[in-house]
Chain A
Amino acid sequence: MYSKKNPSLRINEADLKCKNGCGYYGNEEWEGLCSKCHHEHLQRERLKKTGGHSGLHHGERDGDKHTKSAVGFSKFEEKKRQQAEKKTKLLKLSVFRKSSNSKDLIRSEQFQELYSATPELEKLKQDYQDLFSSVSQSVERDVLKSINSFNVNVLKNADIGTIDELSEVVQNLYQVFAKRMEASIIYTDLSQEKKEMLLDFVEKYVMTGLYRILFCPPSTTDEDKDLSLQNRIRQLNWVNAQHLDCSINETQSEVCDLVYTAIADIIGMDSAKAPQDKLSCIVRCCRNIFLLLQQSVGGPASADEFLPALIFIVLKANPARLKSNINYITRFCNASRLMSGEGGYYFTNLCCAVSFIENLTAESLNMPVEEFEQYMSGEVIPTSTWESALMMCEGMHLMYEQLATLDDLHNRYTRFGEGALALKEEMQKFKIDIADEVAAVLARTPLTIQPRKTPTDIDSENPTCESLPPPIVPQIVAPQIGLEPDSVKKTESAEDSQPNITAAALPHDYLSLSSPLVFSHSLDELTTPDDIFGAQALSFVQGLTSINYDIDLSDLSADNSYAEDVPAADGHKSSAMLSLEVKPAEELTPSLLDNTESPTGDLLPSPIKPLCTGEYQGFAAQGWQIHSIPCETGDTPSLNSDACGNVDSASSQFQT
């Protein structure tokens, strides 16, 4: 209650003191006096006083503080009643007395001005926009007319009758409207559903409009009951779920959340205006209770569990103006509909809960009277109250949340690990699959692919092969070789000793050495090292290689054998190379060796020297770069030379 009446404006503390200087707090609305002084003041000039309702509320709060601390609750109660009376008078004076004196028409106009423009009613109209767009205009007009007459009727009775009479009037009006819908021609083509909705609309519209007059009217003692109930609940704040035998697991976070939701729902009831809206708040609250019971019990909850839980929620929520709200719903909700359906059931349960709380005794909590008294007087505080549970819950909540996060992380981690493993397996499988496939393909293809490829290659290049044959003439090459290096021939012929043998030896050497080169050519140019060509091809190759050789040299050229070159370049032996000229470097060395071994070598240099040195340095610059070949030739020529030697010796023997 106190929280509901927060002062809208804060003033300095000094200004709050009573002007009479009695030390208590004063109030602007009471001309700066405290409640007591103002009361006395009022006694004197009661009728002169005018003021707003909000002011009264405002004052009431400060008055609360004051009287409670100073005089006590009973006094406060008394004062409050006086205020309530005053409020009634003010209400009657300022709003209704006047209007009741005037004509009904004026009053209804006044009423329209008062209520039709409020945002709530506008919103309500918008909510039902669909309904009205689906019905005819005459229906809409009639409904609005009914609402008007409804309002007028209620207002007419508002200032004369008691609240119960007013309730009766309202209930009658509901029935009148319901009957009107049944009887009137305007509504005949409407479905039952639409009629129900119209009934809903009328009830909501009227009640929202008349809320200020009908809710907790000053003529009743509702407000006092609210206060006493509120105090009662406050006194009972030590009651926990165990006392009520209700199976709410306070430490479970989901349950806790649902408890909060249920509490919020029941507290929200006070802010709703139409009785139906209040009822739906109750229904929402109760459904949440069933949900949380389901969590706690682990199955469908029964009424045996539901009622204690509802009592627990009401005790912990301590909803504002609970009694007023209940009375308001009982009086002004369409009775024929209230008591049918879910809303009615839950409302009845709420009434039961309230009645239980009001009449709560030690017996009803199954505890000794002394203990109950101790708790009620606040001497002893039970160990596990809801509040302490809440305190614990904070930590628990946090822990649960973090545990949940951890779990989540762990789950993700394991999922990730599993994913990685799966991926690994997949990769391995893929690898094996591919290997298998490749092996299979390899097993299948060597026989098929190669023949296929080579014939086609051969076919495709056959024309080139055909174009080649003329070079095959190299059968003539033998003379060519002899012809080509004229100088060599000359030198050889000049040697006289064994020109034929060296010439014969050369092709042999060359063949053995050049065979890898030939293959490389065949690979590169896809020329055919076919068997058919045989020796012809070889000899032909010689011709080829003699042409291609330069290219090979440049390809093979490496930088590392510079040192080898230098001595070769300046020595006489280099001149021996000259004798071979176009012949590959390999041939040079054997000839060199031959020369060195043969005494004839000394004879050769002299004529060649002047010719070649200048010419051959360029060639040697290329020649020295072929490092590997001299190594090989170093060995083979020695054999060759041996062979040559043998041949020589043989020939010499033969000659001899």
Chain B
Amino acid sequence: MRTIEAKVVVLGAQGVGKTSMVVRYVGKMFSHHISPTIGASFFTCRLNVEDTRVKLQVWDTAGQERFRSMAPMYYRNANAALIVFDITQYETFDAMKTWVKELQRNVLEPMVLSVVGNKTDLESRRQVTREEALQYAASIGGNYFESSAVNDEGIEDVFLNTAIGLIRLAQDSLCSSLRIYDLSDPMSPVSSVGNESGVGQNHHSLQMTSVEHAEVERPRLCC
């Protein structure tokens, strides 16, 4: 089984719900294993998509304006970026645009970009329309998702799509920082981990259309 190890940075202004989103995703996966209360800004999780195992290292970042200049340190060598904004605050959408610009300027290698409009549970106070966000995402060559960390909606899709995008990147072998292993070695710790039951059902197809129906394999490791 092929394994892809990728670094995913989560960018976005302060208070848009970056951490809650990640914690929600990882926490749900591990609710019965580990309480993700400590070290809530660095996670690893694994997804199985078709015959590929994707190990995601999720790096949460500080969103404050004053730390903007440090962002390049975080997304150096990153293979994917989740750029999060708050649909109820238009300025976070604007701020996101500058994040993206900076990202595109600083990262030369291709990246999987995902634009996430968070807080759909506050639909009544929406300031950023879905169309506008979709249009913007398309303009930067990324996917747009809407999610709600409170109601736990749409978060899995974000990570799943990121994983699928990463597999594509690996196939095109455009990205040198992406770590790809061919782990046919049965002794490898990755495949020696149990809980392989139902693998067939957990596999995802690469077609984007069928993603909604896909299931995510429970990640097994988290820090």
| A104 and B223 alpha carbons, distance in the complex (Å) | 45
Q: A355-B70, A355-B73 given as contacts; is B185 within 8 A of A302 (CB)? A: no
| A187 and B189 alpha carbons, distance in the complex (Å) | 16
Say yes or no: is B60 at the interface (Cβ < 8 Å to chain A): yes
Q: A303-B60, A306-B62, A307-B67 given as contacts; is B189 within 8 A of A290 (CB)? A: no
Given the complex, which residues of A lie within 8 Å of B23, measured CB to CB?
300
| A291 and B40 alpha carbons, distance in the complex (Å) | 10
CB of A287 within 8 A of CB of B39, answer yes
CB of B7 within 8 A of CB of A342, answer no
| A191 and B14 alpha carbons, distance in the complex (Å) | 44
Q: How far is the CB of A492 from chain B (nearest CB, A)?
A: 113
| A294 and B18 alpha carbons, distance in the complex (Å) | 17
| A52 and B135 alpha carbons, distance in the complex (Å) | 68
Interface hub of A291, A306, A351, A356 (most chain B Cβ within 10 A): A306
Given the complex, which residues of A lie within 8 Å of B223, measured CB to CB?
341-342
Binary flags per residue of B176-218, CB closer than 8 Å to A gives 1, else 0: 0001000001011100000000000000000000000000000
CB of A352 within 8 A of CB of B18, answer no
Say yes or no: is A304 at the interface (Cβ < 8 Å to chain B): yes
Chain A's closest residue to B58 (CB) is: A345
CB of B62 within 8 A of CB of A308, answer yes
Given the complex, which residues of B lie within 8 Å of A302, measured CB to CB?
18-20, 40-41, 60
Given the complex, which residues of A lie within 8 Å of B59, measured CB to CB?
345, 348
Given the complex, which residues of A lie within 8 Å of B74, measured CB to CB?
348, 352
Chain B's closest residue to A286 (CB) is: B39
Q: A340-B179, A356-B67 given as contacts; is B187 within 8 A of A303 (CB)? A: no
| A302 and B57 alpha carbons, distance in the complex (Å) | 16
CB of B42 within 8 A of CB of A352, answer no
CB of B41 within 8 A of CB of A303, answer yes
Interface size grouping (class) on chain A = 35 or more
| A291 and B151 alpha carbons, distance in the complex (Å) | 27
CB of A303 within 8 A of CB of B18, answer yes
CB of A303 within 8 A of CB of B62, answer yes
| A251 and B60 alpha carbons, distance in the complex (Å) | 29
Say yes or no: is A45 at the interface (Cβ < 8 Å to chain B): no
Say yes or no: is A555 at the interface (Cβ < 8 Å to chain B): no
| A631 and B23 alpha carbons, distance in the complex (Å) | 104
Interface hub of A302, A307, A339, A363 (most chain B Cβ within 10 A): A302
Given the complex, which residues of A lie within 8 Å of B66, measured CB to CB?
356, 363-366
Say yes or no: is B38 at the interface (Cβ < 8 Å to chain A): yes
Binary flags per residue of B1-14, CB closer than 8 Å to A gives 1, else 0: 00001010000001
Given the complex, which residues of A lie within 8 Å of B14, measured CB to CB?
304
Q: How far is the CB of B12 from chain A (nearest CB, A)?
A: 10
Given the complex, which residues of B lie within 8 Å of A356, measured CB to CB?
66-67, 70
CB of A345 within 8 A of CB of B42, answer yes
Given the complex, which residues of A lie within 8 Å of B171, measured CB to CB?
none
Say yes or no: is B92 at the interface (Cβ < 8 Å to chain A): no
CB of A291 within 8 A of CB of B38, answer yes
CB of B42 within 8 A of CB of A342, answer yes
Interface hub of A287, A307, A351 (most chain B Cβ within 10 A): A307
Say yes or no: is B77 at the interface (Cβ < 8 Å to chain A): yes
Q: How far is the CB of A302 from chain B (nearest CB, A)?
A: 3
CB of B41 within 8 A of CB of A287, answer no
CB of B187 within 8 A of CB of A191, answer yes
| A287 and B63 alpha carbons, distance in the complex (Å) | 20
Say yes or no: is A479 at the interface (Cβ < 8 Å to chain B): no
Given the complex, which residues of B lie within 8 Å of A299, measured CB to CB?
37
Q: How far is the CB of A480 from chain B (nearest CB, A)?
A: 104
Say yes or no: is B61 at the interface (Cβ < 8 Å to chain A): yes
CB of A339 within 8 A of CB of B40, answer no
Q: How far is the CB of B164 from chain A (nearest CB, A)?
A: 21
Top 7 closest pairs, chain A to chain B, by CB: A302-B19, A307-B62, A303-B41, A303-B60, A352-B70, A300-B40, A345-B42
Q: What are 25 A-B pairs with beta-carbon distances under 8 A?
A: A191-B187, A191-B188, A192-B187, A193-B189, A245-B64, A286-B39, A287-B38, A287-B39, A290-B40, A290-B41, A294-B37, A299-B37, A300-B19, A300-B40, A301-B40, A302-B18, A302-B19, A302-B20, A302-B40, A304-B63, A307-B67, A308-B62, A308-B64, A348-B73, A352-B73
Interface residues of A (CB under 8 A from B): 191-193, 245, 286-287, 290-291, 294, 299-304, 306-308, 336, 339-342, 345-346, 348, 351-352, 355-356, 359, 363-366
Interface residues of B (CB under 8 A from A): 5, 7, 14-15, 18-20, 23, 36-42, 44, 57, 59-64, 66-67, 69-70, 73-74, 77, 179, 185, 187-189, 223
Given contacts A290-B39, A300-B36, A355-B69, 15 further A-B contacts (CB under 8 A): A191-B187, A191-B188, A192-B189, A290-B38, A291-B38, A300-B40, A303-B19, A303-B63, A304-B15, A304-B62, A307-B64, A340-B7, A340-B179, A348-B73, A352-B74
